[in-house]
């Protein structure tokens, strides 16, 4: 394998698989590619931009056909570990590890999220976490304040319903939106060490009572705050649209979506947009200061013919100037580069959200990327059944436990 | 001739054989390690409740498609071709064919909005005509999701089948119909005793195409439900994809593909045999 720290030869092609395929995000990498090609006329940047949903299938197709591009998108957790396990990711410790010039430019927790086998394999691009976005005007009309506790959230939903609005728009056609609610509730109800033990199918037993409790709490949210079982027939994009159109009072969203929820063109005005962390239940046994979220980033293909050039392109992408562009509207993706996100660059809500992430005691990874694919699939399908009232919380936990056991036997 | 045979073998028959070989392995796509597991994937398939659900959904898809896209389309084509005015015949052919010109992905998205629980046209229409008690989250309910998808598919494919039947009916000599009328045969008798037997080859072909199509269905399910909720609308094609590309079980996915191949092959052979046996010539 080529030395990642070798001198760069500015010749040839760099291929990149991004997760910026959405219309509002795609210009970011397109502009960077153009700028990089202007700086280095001998280089061509080839982009393959996928969406959040399509990138999963596309990546696996590319892996199976040994056609991964030089640079590819990755989540943390089990997803990223697969590339390391298969020797498909370059060990970047020499260039991004502790004490390196490039590594020092990132928030330490972000770089550390891509440590596997004590080595650094990922380049974090932005930080992500889940918050409840809310419409301040609708809250005011219902005579309620931002809820501080779980019970207050439920009461707020009841008050909002009385004013004739849907308290929370929730679309679960894709199955992962409810997984995100449950992920945050699990972080509150199940101690971190138990959760992390259960992420490993060989050690998992899912016996902690916090699992069932978290699922019951989700059902409470479903009953009081959402349109109920019909959520499985609505896409997450439609639910976000309902919030932006001021047809619902809340939407549980990633910080990445803040700048898309409220814009100068949406019925939900920027000044009416606020957010809060999903409130923790009073008697939870887990960590009430945990936030569900993780950085997302990129890896370098270990079989790339020009590893130093690929690394150089990513250094360009994560330069302070380009990190500022990424963090500012319309992209609003809070960069993992230190000292860039401030009120001059990003929306005040994004800045505030970043502070909450920095203060979080634990970043609970997404359940569908932290777990092995088989266990993740069990979470996804059984939570759809829970939302549709065809499974009980106990049955969901049992199904996930069985999936982990089956995975461990393989 | 030899070249075409080589190309055919390489691109058609070799992948089929290779798929059977892959179905006896379990591969870790990330490490490239391949484990030979014999028939373990087929054993797993028999014990997988989602496979049986998917198989049922495929059969439901095939059955309802035969009713609507073969027999329904046949009756409609005969009705249209029975119209006296050529202008009206062309008009109705075009009307029924238009949905087939829309891609299945676009149709899927269109019907996603029609079925939307809160703002969808279907629920709004039911409410307005006093059938509010029928309102459903059509794609969000385990009981209705697959049937909502099948209904969309009938809308999309109905016109194409109608057009093919219309072509087959046009090929029947006009004198035969005139003779039947002179013998006093009414429209239903002419349909059953004349049009139906003389279009049997087309009917047979349509049945094969419909059944094989029903077992290869993928796009509409992926667009509209992704196989959910809770795997209730999985068909073999989407479950194959889920196993291969989501859960990394490519060997198991290949075993599911082998089942699809065997079912469609057997259907094709049976139907060809039946059609040949009952061929009518004039």
The pLDDT-based confidence of B272 (bands split at 50, 70, 90) is confident
Tally Cβ neighbours within 10 Å of residue B219.
16
Instruction: Give the gap in angstroms from C-alpha A57 to the nearest C-alpha of chain B.
Output: 6
Tally Cβ neighbours within 10 Å of residue B87.
8
Whole-Å CA distances, A321 to A259, A335, A370, B275: 19, 11, 32, 71
Q: Is A85 on the interface with B (CB under 8 A)?
A: yes
Q: B140–A233: do the CB atoms touch at under 8 Å?
A: yes
- Residues of chain A in contact with residue B229, where contact means CB-CB under 8 angstroms, are 172, 175, 232, 381, 384-385, 387-388
Q: A64–B29: do the CB atoms touch at under 8 Å?
A: yes
Residue A271 lies in a domain: yes
Report the residue of chain B nearest A68, measured CA to CA: B30
B189 Cβ neighbours under 8 A, 6+ residues apart = B180
A240 and A208 assigned to the same domain: yes
Q: Please compute the mean of the pLDDT values over residues B105-119 and round it to a whole number.
A: 93
Instruction: Give the gap in angstroms from C-alpha B244 to the nearest C-alpha of chain A.
Output: 9
- Residues of chain A in contact with residue B239, where contact means CB-CB under 8 angstroms, are none
Write the burial class of residue A216 (CB in 10 Å: 0-12 exposed, 13-18 middle, 19+ buried). Answer: middle
Q: Which of B230, B237, B250 to mutate to test the interface with A (most CBs of A within 10 A)?
A: B230
Residue A7 lies in a domain: no
Q: How far apart are CA A295 and CA A120, in angstroms?
A: 14
Task: Say which of A57, A85, A232 has its CB closest to residue B229.
Answer: A232
Instruction: Give the gap in angstroms from C-alpha A245 to the nearest C-alpha of chain B.
Output: 13
Report the residue of chain A nearest B44, measured CA to CA: A406
Task: Say which of B32, B137, B228 has its CB closest to residue A175.
Answer: B228
Q: How far apart are CA A201 and CA A401, in angstroms?
A: 9
Q: A173–B137: do the CB atoms touch at under 8 Å?
A: no
Instruction: Give the gap in angstroms from C-alpha B117 to the nearest C-alpha of chain A.
Output: 6
The pLDDT-based confidence of B69 (bands split at 50, 70, 90) is very high
Q: How far apart are CA A326 and CA A166, in angstroms?
A: 32
Task: Find where tokens 């999985």 sit.
Answer: B234
Residue A387 lies in a domain: yes
Q: Is A384 on the interface with B (CB under 8 A)?
A: yes
Provide the β-strand partners of residue A250.
A134, A168
A182 and A278 assigned to the same domain: yes
Its sign, for the CA torsion A250, A256, A261, A264, is positive
Residue A5 lies in a domain: no
Residue A38 lies in a domain: yes
Supply the pLDDT for residue B83: 86
Q: How far apart are CA A86 and CA A80, in angstroms?
A: 10
Q: Is A390 on the interface with B (CB under 8 A)?
A: yes
Task: Find where tokens 């899912």 sit.
Answer: A206
Supply the pLDDT for residue A2: 67
A183-211 CB burial, b ≥16 within 10 A, e <16: bbbbbbbbeeebbeebbebeebebebebb
A54 and A76 assigned to the same domain: yes
Q: Which two tokens stand for residue B144?
A: 């209705």
A96 and A142 assigned to the same domain: no
Q: Which two tokens stand for residue A410?
A: 């393989």
Q: B228–A61: do the CB atoms touch at under 8 Å?
A: no
Cβ contact A180:A252 at 8 Å: yes
- Residues of chain B in contact with residue A245, where contact means CB-CB under 8 angstroms, are none
Torsion angle of the four alpha carbons A195, A199, A204, A208, in this order, in degrees rounded to the nearest 10: 20
- Residues of chain B in contact with residue A385, where contact means CB-CB under 8 angstroms, are 142, 229-230
Q: A64–B241: do the CB atoms touch at under 8 Å?
A: no
Supply the pLDDT for residue B282: 56
Residue A33 lies in a domain: yes
A268 and A287 assigned to the same domain: yes
Supply the pLDDT for residue B85: 86
Task: Give the number of C-alpha atoms closer than 13 A to the C-alpha of residue A52, restricted to the C-beta side.
Answer: 12
Q: B116–A373: do the CB atoms touch at under 8 Å?
A: no
Task: Say which of B139, B231, B246 has its CB closest to residue A373.
Answer: B246
CATH number at residue A106: 3.40.190.10
Torsion angle of the four alpha carbons A178, A180, A184, A187, in this order, in degrees rounded to the nearest 10: 100
A24 and A116 assigned to the same domain: yes
A69 and A180 assigned to the same domain: no
Report the residue of chain A nearest B33, measured CA to CA: A86
Q: Which two tokens stand for residue B222?
A: 């992926």
Supply the pLDDT for residue B41: 96
Task: Find where tokens 């069932």 sit.
Answer: A212
Instruction: Give the gap in angstroms from C-alpha A356 to the nearest C-alpha of chain B.
Output: 33
Where do the domains of chain B lie, and which CATH numbers do they carry?
18-277 (1.10.3720.10)
Q: Which percentage of chain B shows pLDDT scores above 90?
A: 71
Q: Taking a contact as any Cβ pair under 8 Å apart, which residues of chain A between 148 and 207 contact chain B?
A: 172-175
Task: Say which of B117, B140, B245 has its CB closest to residue A60.
Answer: B245
Q: Is A381 on the interface with B (CB under 8 A)?
A: yes
Q: How far apart are CA B275 and CA B278, in angstroms?
A: 5
Supply the pLDDT for residue A343: 85
- Residue closest to A138 by CA, chosen among A254, A8, A244, A296: A244
Q: Which two tokens stand for residue B265?
A: 């092959």
Q: How far apart are CA A322 and CA A347, in angstroms?
A: 17
- Which positions in chain B have a beta carbon within 8 angstroms of at least one beta carbon in chain A? 28-32, 112, 115-118, 137-142, 145, 225-226, 228-231, 241-242, 244-250
A333 and A383 assigned to the same domain: no
- Residues of chain A in contact with residue B244, where contact means CB-CB under 8 angstroms, are 60
Phi-psi region of B88 (alpha: psi -120 to 50; beta: other; left: phi over 0): alpha
pLDDT tens-digit series, residues A24-62: 899 999 999 999 999 999 999 999 999 987 898 899 999
Domain hosting A283: range is 129-291+365-409
**pLDDT reading at B212 higher than 60:** yes
A19 and A83 assigned to the same domain: yes
A225 and A196 assigned to the same domain: yes
Residue A319 lies in a domain: yes
A26 and A100 assigned to the same domain: yes
Q: A175–B138: do the CB atoms touch at under 8 Å?
A: no
A40 and A159 assigned to the same domain: no
For chain A, the domain total comes to 2
Provide the β-strand partners of residue A298.
A73, A123
Task: Say which of A61, A88, A381 has its CB closest to residue B230.
Answer: A381
Q: How far apart are CA B280 and CA B199, in angstroms?
A: 9
Q: Which of A232, A377, A383, A389 to mutate to test the interface with B (most CBs of B within 10 A)?
A: A232
Q: Which two tokens stand for residue B91?
A: 């008009």
Give the per-residue SS3 of chain A.
CCCCCCCCCCCEEEEEEECCCCCCCHHHHHHHHHHHHHHCCCEEEEEEECCCCHHHHHHHHHHHCCCCCCEEEECCCHHHHHHHHCCCECCCHHHHCCCCCCHHHECHHHHHCCEECCEECCEEEEEEEEEEEEEHHHHHHCCCCCCCCHHHHHHHHHHHHHCCCEEECCCCCCCHHHHHHHHHHHHHHCCHHHHHHHHCCCCCCCCCCHHHHHHHHHHHHHHHHCCHHHHHHCCHHHHHHHHHCCCEEEEEEEHHHHHHHCCCCCCCCHHHEEEECCCCCCCCCCCCCEEEEEEEEEEEECCCCCHHHHHHHHHHHCCHHHHHHHHCCCCCCCECECCCCCCCCCCHHHHHHHHHHHHCCEEECCHHHHCCHHHHHHHHHHHHHHHCCCCCHHHHHHHHHHHHHHHHHC
**Whole-complex ipTM:** 0.85
Q: Which residue stretches of chain A have pLDDT < 70?
A: 1-2
Instruction: Give the gap in angstroms from C-alpha A240 to the nearest C-alpha of chain B.
Output: 14
Whole-Å CA distances, B90 to A137, B81, B83: 56, 9, 10
- Residues of chain B in contact with residue A391, where contact means CB-CB under 8 angstroms, are 230
Strand A119-120 and strand A71-74: pairing? unpaired
Q: B230–A63: do the CB atoms touch at under 8 Å?
A: no
Q: A57–B137: do the CB atoms touch at under 8 Å?
A: no
Supply the pLDDT for residue A341: 85
pLDDT tens-digit series, residues B257-270: 999 999 889 988 88
Q: Which two tokens stand for residue A333?
A: 């993706």
Cis, peptide link before residue B204, omega less than 30° from 0: no
- Residues of chain B in contact with residue A230, where contact means CB-CB under 8 angstroms, are 117-118, 137, 140
Q: Which of B120, B247, B252 to mutate to test the interface with A (most CBs of A within 10 A)?
A: B247
Residue A395 lies in a domain: yes
Q: B142–A390: do the CB atoms touch at under 8 Å?
A: yes
Supply the pLDDT for residue B281: 60
Give the per-residue SS3 of chain B.
CHHHHHHHHHHHHHHHHHHHHHCCEEECCCCCCEEECCCHHHHHHHCCHHHHHHHHHHHHHHHHHHHHHHHHHHHHHHHHHCCCCHHHHHHHHHHHHHHHHCCHHHHHHHHHHHHCCCCCHHHHHHHHCCCHHHCCCCCCCCCCHHHHHHHHHHHHHHHHHHHHHHHHHHCCCHHHHHHHHHCCCCHHHHHHHHHHHHCHHHHHHHHHHHHHHHHCCCHHHHHHCCCCCCCCCCCHHHHHHHHHHHCCCHHHHHHHHHHHHHHHHHHHHHHHHHHHHCCCCC
Supply the pLDDT for residue B279: 61
Q: B228–A381: do the CB atoms touch at under 8 Å?
A: yes
Q: Which two tokens stand for residue A325?
A: 């562009």
């Amino acid at each position: 394998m080529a030395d990642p720290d070798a001198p760069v030869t500015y010749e040839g092609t760099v291929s990149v698989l991004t997760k910026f395929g959405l219309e509002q995000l795609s210009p970011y990498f397109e502009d960077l590619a153009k700028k990089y090609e202007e700086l280095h006329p001998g280089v061509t940047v080839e982009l393959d931009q996928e969406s959040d949903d399509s990138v999963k299938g596309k990546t696996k197709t590319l892996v199976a056909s040994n056609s991964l591009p030089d640079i590819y998108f990755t989540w943390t957790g089990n997803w990223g570990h697969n590339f390391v396990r298969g020797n498909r990711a370059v060990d970047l410790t020499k260039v991004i590890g502790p004490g390196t010039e490039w590594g020092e430019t990132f928030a330490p927790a972000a770089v550390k999220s891509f440590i596997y086998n004590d080595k650094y394999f990922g380049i974090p691009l932005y930080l992500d976490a889940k918050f409840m976005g809310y419409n301040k005007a609708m809250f005011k009309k219902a005579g309620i304040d931002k809820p501080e506790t779980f019970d207050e959230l439920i009461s707020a939903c009841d008050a909002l319903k009385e004013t004739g609005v849907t308290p929370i728009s929730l679309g679960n056609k894709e199955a992962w939106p409810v997984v995100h609610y449950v992920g945050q509730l699990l972080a509150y109800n199940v101690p971190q060490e138990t959760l992390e033990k259960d992420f490993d199918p060989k050690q998992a037993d899912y016996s902690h009572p916090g699992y069932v409790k978290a699922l019951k709490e989700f059902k409470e949210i479903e009953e009081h705050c959402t349109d109920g079982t019909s959520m499985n027939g609505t896409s997450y994009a439609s639910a976000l649209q309902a919030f932006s159109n001021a047809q619902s009072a809340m939407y549980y969203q990633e910080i990445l979506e803040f700048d898309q929820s409220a814009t100068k063109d949406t019925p939900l005005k920027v000044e009416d947009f606020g957010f809060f962390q999903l409130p923790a239940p009073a008697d939870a046994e887990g960590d009430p200061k945990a936030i569900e979220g993780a950085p997302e980033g990129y890896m370098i293909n270990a079989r790339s013919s020009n590893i130093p050039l690929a690394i150089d392109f990513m250094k360009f992408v994560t330069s302070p100037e380009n990190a500022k562009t990424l963090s500012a509207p319309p992209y609003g993706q809070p960069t993992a580069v230190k000292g860039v996100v401030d009120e001059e660059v990003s929306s005040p809500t994004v800045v505030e959200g970043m502070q909450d992430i920095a203060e979080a005691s634990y970043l609970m990874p997404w359940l569908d990327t932290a777990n092995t694919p088989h266990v993740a699939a069990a979470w996804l399908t059984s939570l759809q059944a829970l939302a549709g009232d065809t499974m009980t919380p106990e049955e969901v936990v049992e199904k996930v436990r069985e999936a982990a056991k089956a995975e461990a036997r393989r | 001739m030899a070249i075409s045979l080589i190309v055919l073998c390489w691109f058609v028959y070799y992948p089929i054989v290779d798929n059977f070989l892959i179905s006896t392995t379990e591969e870790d796509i990330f490490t490239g390690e391949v484990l030979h597991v014999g028939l373990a994937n087929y054993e797993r398939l028999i014990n997988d409740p989602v496979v049986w659900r998917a198989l049922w959904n495929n059969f439901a898809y095939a059955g309802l498609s035969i009713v609507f896209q073969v027999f329904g389309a046949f009756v409609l084509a005969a009705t249209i071709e029975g119209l006296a005015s050529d202008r009206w015949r062309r008009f109705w052919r075009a009307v029924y064919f238009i949905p087939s010109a829309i891609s299945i992905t676009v149709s899927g998205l269109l019907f996603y909005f029609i079925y939307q629980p809160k703002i969808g046209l279907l629920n709004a229409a039911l409410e307005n005509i006093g059938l509010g008690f029928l309102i459903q989250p059509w794609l969000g309910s385990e009981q209705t999701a697959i049937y909502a998808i099948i209904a969309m598919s009938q809308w999309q494919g109905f016109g194409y089948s109608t057009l093919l039947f219309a072509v087959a009916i046009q090929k029947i000599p006009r004198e035969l119909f005139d003779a039947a009328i002179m013998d006093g045969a009414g429209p239903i008798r002419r349909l059953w005793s004349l049009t139906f037997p003389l279009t049997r080859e087309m009917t047979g072909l349509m049945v094969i195409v419909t059944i094989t199509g029903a077992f290869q269905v993928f796009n509409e399910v992926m667009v509209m439900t992704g196989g959910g909720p809770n795997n209730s609308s999985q068909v073999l094609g989407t479950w194959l994809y889920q196993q291969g590309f989501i859960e990394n079980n490519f060997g198991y996915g290949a075993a599911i593909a082998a089942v699809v191949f065997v079912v469609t092959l057997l259907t094709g052979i049976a139907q060809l045999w039946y059609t040949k046996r009952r061929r009518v010539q004039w």
